[in-house]
Amino acid sequence: MSQGNKKLSPRQKMINLMYIVLTAMLALNVSSDVLDGFTQVQDGLMRTNESVAQRNSAIYAELEAFSAQNPEKGKVWYDKASQVRNESQSLFSLVDSLKLAIVRKADGKDADPNDILSRDDLEAAAVIMLNPTTKNGAKLRQRIESYRKFVEQYVTDSVKRASISAALNTDPFKRKGAAMAELWEESKFDNQPVVAAITLLTKLQNDIRYAEGEALAHLLNQVDAGDVRVNEINAFVIPQSRMVMRGGRYVADIVLAAVDTTARPAIYINGKQLADSNGHYEIATGQTGSFDYSGYLEVPHGDGSITRHPFSSSYVVMEPSATVSATMMNVLYAGIENPISISVPGVPQNAVSATMTNGSLTKSGDHFVARPAKVGAEAVVTVTATIDGKAQTVNTTKFRVRKLPDPVAFISYAGANGVTERYKGGKPISKATLMGAKGIDAAIDDDMLNIDFKVLSFETVFFDSMGNAIPEVSNGAQFSQRQMDSFRRLSRGKRFYISRIRAKGPDGVERVLNPVEVIVN
């Protein structure tokens, strides 16, 4: 303890300093076993790169051969494969040039990356890759990032994309215990022996070849991606419609599932070969009824054999017809717009037209609107359809034209949840509700016709204590001030009448409505 407190001599201080320096040198010295291990890994990676390159070349050659055999189908994928191959080779060559530069820095101008002499050189890699003037490491990182984004667009498999992203990852690296993360190039090449740096770059080349191979394999699979693979072949008849109007034409397509466009089958119907090799079958119809037909397809195969696939189908020829119905009722009302549905089976709406007597008939979208003119006279709707380019009358329907029924007068007020209610009399109504009303309205609201009328005028009739009637005139459709004053004087259980209600509907006809009995609650 006493010796530990003594002041050290200059000689002892020098010895201690030399010991510290020696310890640091031993720590920095890389053992030959470690260097040999890097060399073995480097040799293995070189062999792997050669094997992967051969596999990639085989895939590329297969794409090239297919493109030459079937340019329409294969050229687009071969062109993309060429882009992948060129980008991959460009980055691969850049890495080769950096490997050579590092080894030359360590061994001289006659250096050989496959036979490194100064394997433990700790400066050469940093000088080449981290030089602030050349910035080779940063440039390599940027090229890797650009290549990764380029090649990932040709790999749709999420697992393989993730594997490529991990292999070509250039994110900053944070060492355990370090305060800040290092750039990718600093973490890979700072204070690294030459053999370790070369092995790392060879591993990068291996990752490039792997990414290239995955992209090429995906492009090769895309050549047949649009093909449909089946294990069963059947004949099908596809008619445009099984229902045909007399005078029209029955049209059907007879096809073979998974048919090869370079070897179409021969089609026979009722013993005669169909002239159209695409299977388009068309026949005129002259009479109504149900009709059957059958045939077969003969399919040639590569070995010279022929297989036969039978088929059968049927169609129905019917008389021209149409469905015409009034949307609201089976009658039409004069002076208003009556929605009408008109359809012809098997005929699109844009090929259907109609006219009407005793008024007008206009088309609105896929529906028609009828507006009859004269009450009591019939309205005749005539439907015309264009079939196979020829217009023909398919239906004539007669409608009775009636006057709109009288509406019902009511007092509108705000009910529960703000919903507008209609008080039509005959039951109590609160005085507060009555005082909040503006006047009366009129409408037809029988769930078939929903038509509003305009109230022109009305009277309210009150009775005094002697039973004398006291009429008050409205202000148009609104309660007058005198009527409102009379409301205020009403007590519970009293009643009055709204009478002489004049209203006009959309047909322009003025009418007098039934009176409304109001009971004050």
For residue 180, being part of any structural domain is answered with yes
What whole-number distance in Å separates Cα of residue 299 and Cα of residue 305? 8
Amino acid of residue 56: N
Residue-level pLDDT at 475:
95
pLDDT over 80 (residue 307): yes
Q: What angle do CA 264, 269, 270 make, to 5 degrees?
A: 155
For residue 206, being part of any structural domain is answered with yes
Which range, of 130-134, 171-175, 266-270, averages the lowest pLDDT? Answer: 171-175
> Is residue 52 located within the same domain as residue 31?
yes
Q: Which of 311, 294, 160, 130 is nearest to 221 (CA)?
A: 160
Q: Which of 518, 408, 512 is nearest to 458 (CA)?
A: 512
pLDDT in tens, 505-514: 998 999 999 9
> Is residue 149 located within the same domain as residue 77?
yes
**Which residue is associated with the tokens 């990752």?**
207
For residue 475, being part of any structural domain is answered with yes
Which whole number is the average pLDDT over 136-145? 93
Token code pair at residue 506 = 């959309």
Query: 332-333 and 306-318: which strand pairing?
Result: unpaired
Sorting pLDDT into bands at 50, 70 and 90, what band is 248? Answer: low
Residues with Cβ within 8 Å of residue 395, at least 6 apart in sequence: 320, 321, 322, 323, 324, 344, 382, 383
**C-alpha distances out from residue 156 to 52, 97, 161, 215, 359, Å:** 21, 32, 7, 9, 65
Point out the domain boundary residue: 301, 318, 335: 318
For residue 493, being part of any structural domain is answered with yes
Point out the domain boundary residue: 342, 375, 402: 402
Which whole number is the average pLDDT over 27-44? 64
> Is residue 71 located within the same domain as residue 159?
yes
| Alpha-carbon torsion (104, 110, 112, 118), positive or negative | negative
For residue 3, being part of any structural domain is answered with no
Q: Please state the φ and ψ torsions of residue 120, each to the nearest 5 degrees.
A: -95, 10
Point out the domain boundary residue: 318, 334, 355: 318
> Is residue 391 located within the same domain as residue 444?
no
Q: Which of 88, 76, 81 is nearest to 147 (CA)?
A: 88
Q: Which of 255, 249, 178, 164 is nearest to 211 (CA)?
A: 164
> Is residue 65 located within the same domain as residue 201?
yes
> Is residue 217 located within the same domain as residue 358?
no
Residue-level pLDDT at 287:
80
> Is residue 384 located within the same domain as residue 239?
no
pLDDT over 70 (residue 262): no
> Is residue 503 located within the same domain as residue 435?
yes
For residue 51, being part of any structural domain is answered with yes
> Is residue 314 located within the same domain as residue 328?
no
Grouping H, G, I as helix, E, B as strand and the rest as coil, residue 159 is: helix
> Is residue 99 located within the same domain as residue 196?
yes
Write out the DSSP string of 176-244: TT-SSPBPHHHHHHTT--HHHHHHHHHHHHHHHHHHHHHHHHHHHHHTTTTPPP-S---EEEEES-SEE
Q: Please state the φ and ψ torsions of residue 272, each to the nearest 5 degrees.
A: -115, 140
> Is residue 107 located within the same domain as residue 201?
yes
Give percent of the chain above pLDDT 90.
Answer: 43
Domain with 378 in it: what CATH number? Answer: 2.60.40.1080
For residue 181, being part of any structural domain is answered with yes
* Cβ–Cβ < 8 Å for 431, 507: no
For residue 230, being part of any structural domain is answered with no
pLDDT in tens, 407-461: 999 999 988 788 889 999 989 999 999 999 999 999 998 767 889 999 999 999 9
Domains held by the chain: number: 4
Q: Please state the φ and ψ torsions of residue 308, each to the nearest 5 degrees.
A: -115, 135
Sorting pLDDT into bands at 50, 70 and 90, what band is 229? Answer: very low
Angle, in degrees to the nearest 10, between helices 194-222 and 32-69: 20
Better-scored residue on pLDDT, 456 or 13: 456
Q: Please state the φ and ψ torsions of residue 246, each to the nearest 5 degrees.
A: -60, 135
Token code pair at residue 144 = 């890797």
> Is residue 279 located within the same domain as residue 379?
no
**Which residue is associated with the tokens 């609160």?**
430
* Cβ–Cβ < 8 Å for 94, 117: no
Domain with 314 in it: what CATH number? Answer: 2.60.40.10
pLDDT over 60 (residue 29): no
* Cβ–Cβ < 8 Å for 511, 335: no
* Cβ–Cβ < 8 Å for 170, 143: no
pTM beyond 0.85, yes or no: no
Q: Please state the φ and ψ torsions of residue 505, each to the nearest 5 degrees.
A: -100, 180
pLDDT over 60 (residue 489): yes
What is the residue range of 287's domain? 235-318
Q: Which of 125, 154, 155 is nearest to 140 (CA)?
A: 125
Q: What's the DSSP call for residue 262?
A: T
